[in-house]
Amino acid sequence: MTRLTLGPIAYHWSAEKRRDFYARIADEAPVDEVYLGEVICSKRAPFHEADLPTTIERLERAGKTVILSTLAEVMLTRERKATADLAAMEAPEIEINNAAGLLARGKRPHRIGPFMNAYNEATIAWMAGQGATHVCLPTELPGPAIAIAARSARALGLGVEVQVFGRASLAVSARCYHARAHGRTKDNCQFVCEADPDGMPLRTRDDAPVLRVNGIQTQSESYVNLMPESGRLVADGVTHLRLMPQGVDMVAVSALFRSVLEGGTLLDEADERLRKLLVQTSFSNGFYYGQAGYRRISNSAPA
Amino acid sequence: MSLAELICPAGTPAALRTAVDAGADAVYCGFNNATNARNFPGLNFTPDELTNAVAYAHARGTKVLLALNTYPPAGKFDLWRDAADLGARIGVDAFIVADMGVANYIRCTHPHMRLHLSVQAAASSPEAIRYYCESFGVKRVVLPRILTIPEIRQIRKEIPCEIETFIFGNHGLMVEGRCSLTNYLTGQSTNMDGVCSPASDVEYLRAADGSMSSRLAGFTIDKFSADEMAGYPTICKGRYKAPHRPDGYYAFEEPVSLNLSRLLPDLIDAGVHAFKIEGRQRSKSYVRNVVSAFRQAVDDIRAGRAPNVADLVALTEGQKQTQGAFETKKWR
C-alpha cells in the first residue's frame, strides 16, 4: 500500500504554529509518515526543538511513523554537532540530507533525503550497501528516470519517495537571502524569515512571480503538484508520496491525495477541488515531464 | 609550505595548450557531453582531442584532470561509465567527480586512478569530506566558495586529503550540485546536463526608451537603463522585486567575479594545496593572461618574494571584484 508522507517544515514557523499544526496533523490528516526537524537553518532549531519529544509522541500515538530529518547544509560547529547528535539516535528513524550525516551514521539504518542527490541506480546501490533503507529522489528527476531508479531501489529492498506536492527546493546557499533582502547578514538576521510562512516572493522586474526565498533556500513560486501523475508513480514502483507543508490547509490537501490513492475520488474531481482550495497558487509538473520545472503539462505520456 | 599547484581551465584544445605554455601545473577539462558541468556548445574535447592534449601536457610536465562532475540520471549511467573508462585508457592524471555512483565505479574498476572531489559534491565540512575520502579514496577536495580562511585552516587539520580552492573567476553563489534554478526556467539541468543559464535561451530586448532587458527562456532576469551595460542573464545574478524591495535588487548576488590574489599567501599558510582558476568558457587570450599572471605570483610567493598584486587585480579591470566568503563571514 502506498504511503503518504508529510515532509519537514521548510519555513520558520513559530513554536506555537508548529504545535497547532502537528496537533491537527495527528488528529485529522490521513498521512502515514511525518518528517520532523530543521532542514534549512540551524539558527531556527532552538525555537522548536524543545517541543520535539512531545510532537513525536503525539504523532506516534496517532499511528504515524515519525522520521527526523537532518540539515541540508552543514558547515558550522553547531550544524556539525546537530547532525552528529541526530545520527547517534536509535529511534526514531532518521533521514540524512548531508554527507556529514552519512559519516556519523555509518552502516546503521537510515533514509536518504532529497538533498543527497540520489539520481541513479549506481548511487542508490552504493547507498543501500551503506545501510540506506529508503531513498527520496531529487525533485528535478524526470519520470522515466524515476521509474528506473525506483525499480532498482525496490530490487534492493528500499522504500522510494517522490515529492508530489509543494514548492520545489531549487537551491541552497551559505548566504541567507532573507537577511540580505532586509540589509542584514545571516549572523544578525533577527529571524526576519518568520514573517513569510510560505516564503518571500520574488518577481521579475516586469512582475512575473518566479521564485520564493526561504532563508538560505530558494524555492519555486509554483507548487509541484503530481496528483495527476501519482497513479503512474505508484505503478512505476514509488512507495511513498511526499507532501511538503505549505501555508495552506494541509489536512485538506492530504485528504485529497489520500482519496485519489484509494480510488475514493475520481482524479479530475480531486484535482478540481485542490485547485479550488488553492486559487492563488500556480501548479507545476514540468520536472516530471523533462521540461522547464515551472510548466504545467497536461497529463500525458512523459517525454 | 604546500606547493600551491596552479590548476587552470581548458575549455578547448587550443586553450589547453595555451594554459600549459603559460605555466599551469595542471589543466582541467571535460568531454563534449553531459558528463561535465560546463557542457556548453563549442567547448570541450572529443576522445581524439583529449588523447592529443594529454600527450602535449605530459610532454611538458603538466597534469590533466578530467571533470566527470555531473550527476547521471537513472538510465543514462553508461555515458559516465564510458567517459571514465575512456579517460583511464587515455591516461588522464585524475578524475574530478561528484556523484557517489560514479566515484564508486571508478574506485572499483580503475583503482589506480586518482579521484578529486568536485565542488559539485558540496562537501563543506570535515565530516562530509572524510565520508568521500573513506568511501572512495578521494585524494583531494575542491572546496565550495563559501568558507573563510580560518575555516579552511581548521578543515585542513581534520581531513586526510589535499585541498583545492577557487581563486579567480566566476563567483558561484549557490551550493553547487544542489541548484535546479536553470532547470526550473529552461528545462535543462545543471546537475544532469551540465548546463547553467544556457546561451541558447538568452535574448536581449531593447525597449522604446532605450532600456534593455536580458531574458532567459522568456523570464526577465534583469533590466538595464540606456546608459548601463546589459549583463548576461545568469539567474542568481539578476535583479528581482520583493514586497519591500519594489524597485528590484540583486536578491542573491551582484555580478562580481572572485579574485583572491591578495589572499594567496594566507591560503597557502592555511594549508591549501592547489589554486583553481575558473573559466573553461573563456578565450585563449584570457587564459594566457590570467595563467601567466598567477604563475608569476605563485612563483614569487614560493621564492619568498611579495607577489605583484596590482597585476592580478588589473586582470578583472572593468568588472567588480570580491573576495567573497574567504575574507569575512559577513558575506553570509
Percent of chain A with pLDDT over 70: 98
Q: Stretch B298-310: mean pLDDT, rounded?
A: 88
Residues with Cβ within 8 Å of residue A204, at least 6 apart in sequence: A210, B219, B220, B221, B238, B240, B241
pLDDT number for residue A229 = 96
Counting one residue from A and one from B, how many pairs have CB atoms under 8 Å apart? 228
Element holding B146 (H helix, E strand): none
Alpha helices in chain A (DSSP H): 15-28, 45-48, 52-61, 77-87, 99-105, 121-129, 143-155, 177-181, 230-235, 250-261, 267-277
C-alpha span between A226 and A233 (Å, rounded): 9
- The residue among A142, A134, A91 whose CA lies nearest residue A114 is A134
A132 touching B, CB under 8 A?
A: no
Q: What is the mean pLDDT of chain A?
A: 96
Q: Is the pLDDT at B234 greater than 80, yes or no?
A: yes
* 0.95 surpassed by complex ipTM: yes
pLDDT in tens, A123-154: 999 999 999 999 999 999 999 999 999 999 99
Distance CA A293, CA A168 (A): 9
Band the pLDDT of A301: cuts 50, 70, 90. Answer: very low
Measure B118 CA to nearest chain A CA, in Å. 14
- pLDDT level of residue A252 (50, 70, 90 thresholds): very high
pLDDT tens digit sequence for B16-49: 999 999 999 999 999 999 999 999 999 999 999 9
Percentage, residues of chain A above pLDDT 90: 95
Distance (Å) from the alpha carbon of B122 to chain A's nearest alpha carbon: 9
Architecture of the CATH domain A3-167+223-274: Alpha-Beta Barrel (3.20)
Residue B276 backbone zone (phi > 0: left; psi -120 to 50: alpha; other: beta): beta
pLDDT exceeds 90 at position A97: yes
By three-state DSSP, how is residue B109 classified? helix
CATH 3.20.20.70 is the classification of domain B5-171+256-331:
yes
Smallest CA–CA distance, residue A273 to chain B, in Å, is 26
- Cα angle: A64, vertex A67, A71; to 5 degrees: 150
Q: Interior CA angle at A8 toward A5 and A14, to 5°?
A: 130
The pLDDT value recorded for residue B187 is: 98
Other beta carbons within 10 angstroms of residue B89's beta carbon come to 11
Give the residue on A whose Cα is nearest the Cα of B81: A122
- Which residue type sits at A217? Q
Q: Residue B214 phi/psi, 5° resolution? A: -105, 125
Can you tell me the distance from the alpha carbon of A11 to that of A193, in angstroms, rounded to the nearest whole number?
8
First CA to last CA distance, chain A: 27
Residue type, A148: I
Burial class (CB within 10 angstroms; exposed 0-12, middle 13-18, buried 19+) of A205: middle
Using a CB-CB distance cutoff of 8 angstroms, which residues of chain A are in contact with residue B245? 181
pLDDT of B173 > 80? The answer is no
pLDDT digits (tens, 9 = 90+) for B58-85: 999 999 999 999 999 999 999 999 999 9
Q: How far is residue A149's CA from residue A82's CA, in Å, rounded to a whole number?
A: 30
Kindly state the percentage of chain B with pLDDT values over 90.
80
* Cell numbers for B37: 558541468
Length of chain B: 332
Domain ranges of chain A: 3-167+223-274
Q: How far apart are the first and last CA of chain B?
A: 30
* Sign of the dihedral through C-alpha B129, B154, B256, A10: positive
Q: Provide the residue ranges of all domains of chain B, joining segments of one domain with +.
A: 5-171+256-331, 181-250
The band of B1, judged by pLDDT with boundaries at 50, 70 and 90, is very low
Nearest CB neighbour to B177, from listed A117, A152, A205: A117
Contacts of residue B174 in chain A, CB cutoff 8 Å? 171-173, 218
Residue A209: asked if its preceding bond is cis (omega within 30°), the reply is no
Tell me the three cell numbers of residue A185.
547578514
Helices A121-129 and B100-109, axial angle in degrees (round to 10)? 80
The one-character DSSP state at B230 is P
Q: In chain B, which residues have their Cβ closer than 8 Å to the Cβ of A205?
A: 213, 220, 222-223, 239-241, 248
A203 touching B (Cβ < 8 Å): yes
